Structure 1
Amino acid sequence: MAVSYRKSRIKNLGFCRLILIVIFGAVFLLLLLRANTFTDLISRYSVESDDDESFGSNYNYSVSFSKNLKLPRQNELSISLEKRNQMFPRNLDLYPKLAKNHIVIVLYVHNRPQYLRVAVDSLSKVKGISETLLIVSHDGYFDEMNKVVEGIKFCQVKQIFAPFSPHLFPDGFPGVSSSDCRDKDDAVVKKCMGTPDQYGNHRSPKIVSLKHHWWWMMNTVWDGLKETSQHSGHILFMEEDHFIFPNAYQNLQLLVKLKPKKCPDCYAANLAPSDVKSKGEGWESLIAERMGNVGYSFNRTVWRMIHRKAGEFCSFDDYNWDITMWATVYPSFGSPVYSLRGPRTSAVHFGKCGLHQGQSENAACIDNGVFNFDVEETDTVPNIKSDWGLHVYKHQSGYQAGFRGWGGWGDKRDHQLCLDFAKLYWTSKAGVV
């Protein structure tokens, strides 16, 4: 009888413990949900799984914007594009796996399909392109640009669309509003909205979209996408008017590998000289110089440093993202920001002849739809040597700390939207801006 009673009591105690465990588990789950971290934990787990690179049929990653942000009210197009951003990459059937140490390529574009076709064609000839992921970031939505990207078959490709691009809002901020001040309007006299820049000019949505898109893209690529939110290696960034050589990817892999040893103080690796007119020195030496804006790459450590300077980036009165970086963000790091590159360019900045590149006979340009830059034999194979020394350009011309900016970025609403972009994907993490 005593034995039977003891067994019954043990069973009851076990059952009570089970009930307590369930209750504590439920309370813990509710606390996680209230802290808005549960989704983040799930996404982190899925990102770190062994099958991350294949993104199988269970792909269900989504990002919720914080209710505390002062984002503009979205319209139907903006909402639909935001949903498209959560779709998995195309061509997974052709390229189901990414290389272990791949370098992600990000191509950011606006609405120049003639240029985009040249850039995409150059990418299709890059050796090693099939092993990586190409992300195309659109500033707005344009049918012809979309068709060009949808035709890409040489690698995994993912499209993302800036859901708060001024080009999506024809009737209000961040686009054009009937109540906005224009040109040099006096806000008091005209009873219009807007804060002028340092030169007295009010915002132009088409101009401010350049800086907004770059900043939104950076925050989204590094922190808002399942495909890249845990990517610790380099990411290469290029624009629709950048032509990339067949050896570019392999050269970049070499630069990334050599950087810790050859230039430990370098923040990035570049495919092209900072002087867009230059083809390089042709020396048998690696080059360390200021960060360029053509074919530049860096890792998450550098992005974290940039992200912490959101206040400086978003308040500097210049509509150019690159000039903003050179004049205020990089100088705030406290030491020269060098980028490592080879002595011969692997990428060029092209445009309408005479517009971007001047009249140099070596200038790359498009004239009547034809790209006129010759790719030589050495541009088809890796041409960087691991035994080369390093030449450092310590004193370089260009925009420096103290430059006031070209203006175009004085409206407080643009400053706020920019700051909100910096917080989009950090609301459920410890490092809130």
Structure 2
Amino acid sequence: MRLRLVRRNVLLLLGVIFVLVTLLFSTRVLIESENDPGAASSRVVSSNGNQGTNSCEILSFASLTELTQSIYSANYKQCVHNADRFPGEPRLVLVVQVHNRPEYLRLLIRSLERAAEVHSFLLIFSHDYVSQEINTIVRGITFCKVLQIYFPFSTQLYPNEFPGQDPRDCPRDISKEEARKTGCLNADHPDSYGHYREAFITQTKHHWWWKLHFVWERVHAMQGYSGFAVFLEEDNYILPDFFHFYKLMMEFRKTSCQDCDLFALGNHNGVTDFSSMSDKVLTSGWLSTKHNIGMAISREVYYKLMGCSNEFCTYDDYNWDWTLQHLSGACISNPLKVVSAQASRVLHTGDCGLHQKDNCRPEMALQKVEAGLQTAKDSLFPPRLVLSRQEPVEHKAHMKNGGWGDVRDHVLCNNYSKRL
């Protein structure tokens, strides 16, 4: 009899606990739903295929601390927009380095929307400046998968301390003797020409190297991807046969240039002689002044560059591309060999940039590229590529530009592979 009563009491207790748990859960859901009316319908697919909520996408601009925290969270969660609309592995990955030129970014996105087979792309936008306007532009893309990543050591996030411009840093043009007298922070580390660091100058090289690490090592959607990643900037404009030309380059490399390390889908000639050059490529050693636009990098070349991480991070040149040319042959034993398009599939729209902030004319840039498209349209989508010339593949030394003498930049740059 006593055993029966104990059993009944246990069953009653379990029933009460079940009811309480159910009520607590229901109340929590109700409160969350009342606080966030869209919570039930705001499910998105994240980059690893699991479902999450829009909280992983929202950047908070309420304060610098909240913005920093939300950027770290976004880099961790990596929500891929439009993943449910375009399932499957990407056939091409484009990585766009974005600063703060929204009108040029709009032009790039317009060109991407017109590109053939764009639905098979993964677009990765890497930001070193974030704003509501820029986010709205990128979030408006509906024609392919999109991932946004954020450079976490930007001058926007560190406006008054390294890697931004610390008020205690030495002025650019002060002498080393005067710098030591004043006790400014980096007095012992001017560049090769006696100048001290400027944060807005150093940021681009930092961002480029961090982005290279993050894309190949940390982006979930890149795991298993065996193609090239094409690196663009916000003031680029691609032609409609961009992906077609990339595929022809891949085939050309397989059959005719197996030792080619890189592709350059663009050049700085615009659409000059486009009709006669549309199907032409040439091979050569990689040069900063020729091959830094529409550059495609494989995972294998990424690993080659990682072997030269310290050389990249300590070389006194604030330009990533001139630094890369230095590595080619000086650190990498065999200079990097590139196959490049003679009729550019990437146009440069920017008429202002790092050294020129005023008088930007994006409307003029649009007119120029539209005119270029009219010139090129009848010569797009060539059936095959023709090797027009083979230039020597050799290391070409150059005079370094400075701007990268501060040991704090060297240490931070070298740490990207450890702290992403």
TM-score by length of 1: 0.73
Deviation of 1:176 after TM superposition, in Å, equals 1.7
Structure 2 residue 182 is the aligned partner of structure 1 residue 187: no
Superposed displacement of residue 331, structure 1 = 3.9
CA contact (8 A) 1:138 1:161 kept: yes
Unaligned runs of 5+ in 1: 1-50, 63-73, 357-364, 426-433
For each residue in 1:336-393, what CA deviation from the matched residue of structure 2 results, as whole angstroms up to 9, or x when unmatched? Answer: 322113332211122228999xxxxxxxx8455643122145467422515x345212
Q: Quote the offset at 1:54 in angstroms.
A: 7.3
Number of aligned residues: 348
C-alpha distance after superposition, 1:296-353 (max 9, x if no partner): 1121001000111101100011111001101234542222322113332211122228
Q: Percent of counterpart pairs with the same letter? A: 31
- Sort the Cα spacing of 1:160 and 1:279 in 2 relative to 1 into closer, same or farther, 3 A: farther
State how far apart, in whole Å, the 2-side matches of 1:196 and 1:355 are. Answer: 21
Moved more, 272-281 or 293-302: 272-281
- Would you say 1:372 and 2:361 are equivalent positions? no
1:297 match: 296
Which residue pairs with 1:238 in the alignment? 232
CA distance in 2, matches of 1:149, 1:142: 11
Q: What are the superposed Cα offsets for residues 225-273 of structure 1, whole Å, 9 maximum, x if unpaired?
A: 1111432221111001111000001110121122022111210122123
Aligned pairs for 1:2-401 within 5 A: 55-57=49-51, 75-85=65-75, 86-99=77-90, 102-185=91-174, 186-194=178-186, 195-273=189-267, 282=277, 285-291=280-286, 292-352=291-351, 366-368=362-364, 370-373=366-369, 374-376=372-374, 378=377, 381-385=380-384, 388-389=386-387, 391-394=389-392, 401=396
Instruction: For residue 111 of structure 1, report the CA deviation from its aligned partner.
Output: 0.5
Decide whether aligned partners of structure 1 residues 233 and 92 sit closer, same or farther in structure 2, where only a CA change above 3 A counts: same
Higher normalized helix content (fraction of residues): 2
Give me the whole-angstrom Cα distance separating, in 1, the residues matched to 2:92 and 2:279: 25
CA distance, structure 1, for counterparts of residue 202 and residue 354 of structure 2: 21
SS at match of 2:222: coil
Listed one character per residue, the Cα deviations across residues 388-428 of structure 1 (whole Å, up to 9, x for unaligned) are 345212279xxx64434111111100010000013236xxx
Of 411, 416, 419, 1:421 maps to 416
Question: Does the CA contact (< 8 Å) of 1:246 and 1:380 recur in 2?
Answer: no
Verify the 8 A CA contact 1:352 1:367 in the aligned structure 2.
Answer: no
The alignment partner of 1:340 has SS state of: strand
| CA distances 1:72-118 after superposition (whole Å, capped 9, x unpaired) | xx94432220111223201123212335xx11111111011111111
- Deviation digits for residues 22-45 of structure 1 (CA, Å, limit 9, x no counterpart): xxxxxxxxxxxxxxxxxxxxxxxx
Alpha-carbon distance change, 290 to 242 in structure 1, aligned in 2, over 3 angstroms: farther
- The structural deviation recorded for 1:289 is 2.7
1:54 and 1:173, CA in 2 relative to 1: closer, same or farther beyond 3 A?
closer
Between the aligned partners of 1:379 and 1:303, the Cα distance in structure 2 is: 36
Partner of 1:411: 406
Secondary structure at 2:106 match in 1: helix
Letter in 1 for 2:49: F
Q: What TM-score comes out, normalization by structure 2 length?
A: 0.75
Separation of aligned partners in 2, 1:117 and 1:401: 36
Question: CA distance change for structure 1 residues 132 and 277 in 2, over 3 Å: closer, same or farther?
Answer: closer
Which amino acid in 1 is paired with 2:112?
Answer: L
